Structure 1
Amino acid sequence: MRTLLAGLCALMMSFPLWAATAPVYSHDGKTALKGFDVVAYYSLPAGANALKGKPDIEYQWQGLTWYFANAANRQAFVANPAAYAPQYGGYCAFAVAHGFTTSPRVNSWKVVDGKLYLNNNPSSFKLWEKDQSNKIAQANQNWPAVLHK
């Protein structure tokens, strides 16, 4: 009986870990944006592939390691991380607009009004882009409460 009670207590205490999603997406719990350079998006042409960061050019922010392709990008991020960090913690913008979170794909992206939005795949990106203003407004309403669903 004691073992059962101890097991139930442990289960109940771990429930908040299941219910909450991290405020910044990380595929491994350590690295932001799968190691891609978040600053580079702002200078890439629309539709270009994301630029991989280098492990030796990094910065710790919000409990994660952010990698950069060059020292200038790292310095820009260090000076103002919030200006470069993806919206909704890097989670799929389409998903957040619909009230849930899912992982992003680094090549399904767009910078709108100086803010970076990532999506899960080319299909969700196209749907998001088709109704971009409304999807951003919906996601803004859902964020960050969607993290607790």
Structure 2
Amino acid sequence: MKLSNLVKSLGLASALVFSSLSFAADIGINANANDVAIHGYDPVSYFTMQKPTMGKSMYSATYKGAIYQFSSEENRDRFRANPAAYAPQFGGFCAMGVALNKKFDVDPTAWYIKGDKLYLNLNKAVQQKWMEDVPGNLKTAYRNWNGIEAVSADELADE
């Protein structure tokens, strides 16, 4: 299946509109207009509580130009001690989108942990597609990420 047909079949074409997104100081990070990553969800909670939990602005930490929020001081401190262990892969962009050579926003409730790494997806329908071939999608996404990490989502949308 051609890439453009796959994007359309997944319903991703509408995801190319990034007007509500800002890209933190590093365009390789998905953050909102206030530089908040993961829509304010606590990245540590995926690992410690096995579910996404909304963070609080009173518990925050900065990593790679984005602000991460946490549900507790303990989670914030865990993140600060080793942010690479908890931050989502691909700068918090949709993992399936990266496999398709694109940068899409995410739904923090469409998540998956594999090999102690957090992966997020655009929505649960895209996550289902991602789950059909996690090893293959990961291989493609990591290969693609090296080429698109420093490219803005808008530039990728034009391709």
Contact 1:96/1:143, CA 8 A, preserved across alignment: yes
Q: Distance in 2 between matches of 1:33 and 1:122?
A: 15
Question: Aligned to 1:87, which of 86, 89, 107?
Answer: 89
* 139-148 vs 101-110, greater mean Cα deviation: 139-148
Correspondence for 1:28: 33
Structure 2: gaps (5+ residues): 1-25
Q: How does 1:52-63 map to 2 (within 5 A)?
A: 52-63=54-65
Question: Aligned to 2:129, which of 124, 127, 130?
Answer: 127
Q: Which has the larger radius of gyration?
A: 1
| Richer in strand (by share) | 2
| 1:87-142 deviation per Cα after TM superposition (whole angstroms, max 9, x unaligned) | 10010000100111100110000110100000001111000011111000000000
After TM superposition, what 4+ stretches of structure 1 lie above 4 angstroms from structure 2?
A: none
SS of structure 2 residue aligned to 1:144: helix
Q: Which residue identity is paired with 1:22?
A: I
How far the C-alpha of 1:43 sits from its partner, in A, is: 2.2
SS of structure 2 residue aligned to 1:107: strand
Contact 1:60/1:66, CA 8 A, preserved across alignment: yes
1:43 aligns with 2:48: yes
Q: Which residue identity is paired with 2:103?
A: T
Q: Which residue identity is paired with 2:28?
A: P
How far the C-alpha of 1:29 sits from its partner, in A, is: 4.6
Contact 1:31/1:66, CA 8 A, preserved across alignment: yes
C-alpha RMSD over aligned residues: 1.4
Q: Normalised by the size of structure 2, how large is the TM-score?
A: 0.75
